[in-house]
Structure 1
């Protein structure tokens, strides 16, 4: 059994440090998203935005939704020409790192440093079946080390790797062919949500409605103001400098 990781904060500085240590060479960064419908707050995020990372509570309402939707889907068998790289999560508390990998490996036109982990993953993973992808990620001592390095520098005291957490990361990405995917290693495969226009980025209303569905689901069973406090959102977009 693979040891769990220390959970990551949804902290742009931390996520940027992890991305750069993994080999991200493009001038893109993670930015806090404070609203999906206030133009003045959205204006602070450089555009186009490529991916969103949502942290949400794993509630009974979400688990019922996840189980029902996954049961309705055919088994996922990846092929090299899928146009998306999905990684099944088998490492406990590592959802933040899986979400970062899903965002970076599937956002078009990003550059990775030669001989970096991201360059190796981008080259190797598409040709692997799911069990081989799992073994590949689980055996990466470099990934474990780089995750541990950044998990220790958050704004709050890092929990123990063996602690149970009820918060989870999911990535939303617009791939090269314009497909909007929800990518979560706890699901049964990549979830194709929509096809976006060339002029649409990941913060367009067609895409963000899938983020707000997570919030609306919790608001139906609890106080909206209380449930919304458990969510956080960051966008992968061009850097300020």
Structure 2
């Protein structure tokens, strides 16, 4: 049985261009809802826990449509092997501008995985309130290339302060001693495709087309996204994959 849960703390890889080191974020609705609304995502949206990817009754607890899944996944041997094999043939991302199907951020800041995962989840649809902190940031970030965009985020004091303001909610303070995981956002983007977005890859990954009535929590999206990673772990003989998963969806009272 695949286990959904755990703290979901992450540690970062790669160089950084700022002296700031972010506090790790826990992948749970309390933390991410606070942060996302501080940044300027519509109050009509919220993150929800995903308790199962297989039990229909538990899956029905998640409001629809789901715009993005934000997951934290441990770097298992099987997943690392698959990533390395896939990355060999990939070029570093060279896209920029509003004509791109997705907005993607390369991670260059220590422990910035959570903030970047959240940005990937909310920056690829009409979800941001005009004139908000996040809207103003994206206006500057979207036209930039990969390296300039990463530097903009690393140097943005408001983004850093917003992330730090929520960093001690829940069990986040214990994550510094926890398991090393990676934040991965699975997003239905403007082109109708499911995109896998992680700041430690060479760029955004197109996992395939979704039908108009298929959201990021549809069976096809799960098969192309998180269940594909579960299968990689099983086929690699690694046993259960322990991960956390939350869904961005319409707010319900």
For the criterion TM > 0.5, the same-fold answer is yes
Check if 1:96 corresponds to 2:114: yes
Structure 2 CA distance, aligned partners of 1:164 and 1:4?
17
Residue 84 of structure 1 contacts residue 175 of structure 1 at CA under 8 Å; is this kept in 2? Answer: yes
Check if 1:50 corresponds to 2:67: yes
Shift of 1:113: 4.8
Residue 24 of structure 2 contacts residue 172 of structure 2 at CA under 8 Å; is this kept in 1? Answer: no
Choose the corresponding residue for 1:174, options 188, 206, 211. 188
For each residue in 1:111-138, what CA deviation from the matched residue of structure 2 results, as whole angstroms up to 9, or x when unmatched? 3252x22101322222101111011001
Shift of 1:188: 0.4
Task: Report the secondary structure of 1:5's partner residue.
Answer: coil
Shift of 1:96: 1.0
Unpaired stretches in structure 1, ≥5 consecutive residues: none
Choose the corresponding residue for 2:200, options 186, 199, 221. 186
Residue 51 of structure 1 contacts residue 173 of structure 1 at CA under 8 Å; is this kept in 2? Answer: yes
Task: Report the secondary structure of 1:149's partner residue.
Answer: helix
What is the total number of aligned residue pairs between the two structures? Answer: 234
Shift of 1:48: 0.6
Residue 43 of structure 2 contacts residue 251 of structure 2 at CA under 8 Å; is this kept in 1? Answer: no
Task: Report the secondary structure of 2:249's partner residue.
Answer: strand
Check if 1:238 corresponds to 2:250: yes
Choose the corresponding residue for 1:13, options 27, 30, 50. 30
1:1-241 equivalence runs, <5 A: 1-2=17-18, 3-80=20-97, 81-106=99-124, 108-114=125-131, 116-155=132-171, 157-160=173-176, 166-209=180-223, 210-221=225-236, 224=239, 227-228=240-241, 230-241=242-253
Task: Report the secondary structure of 1:157's partner residue.
Answer: helix
TM-score (norm. length: structure 1): 0.90
Shift of 1:29: 0.5
Structure 2 CA distance, aligned partners of 1:109 and 1:142?
22
Q: Residue 12 of structure 2 corresponds to which residue in structure 1?
A: none
TM-score (norm. length: structure 2): 0.86
Residue 51 of structure 2 contacts residue 59 of structure 2 at CA under 8 Å; is this kept in 1? Answer: yes
Structure 2 CA distance, aligned partners of 1:41 and 1:60?
30
Structure 1 CA distance, aligned partners of 2:44 and 2:169?
22
For each residue in 1:167-188, what CA deviation from the matched residue of structure 2 results, as whole angstroms up to 9, or x when unmatched? 1110000012211100000000
User: CA, structure 1 residues 20+109, in 2 after alignment: closer, same or farther (shift >3 Å)?
Assistant: same
Task: Report the secondary structure of 2:123's partner residue.
Answer: helix
Shift of 1:158: 3.6
Unpaired stretches in structure 2, ≥5 consecutive residues: 1-16
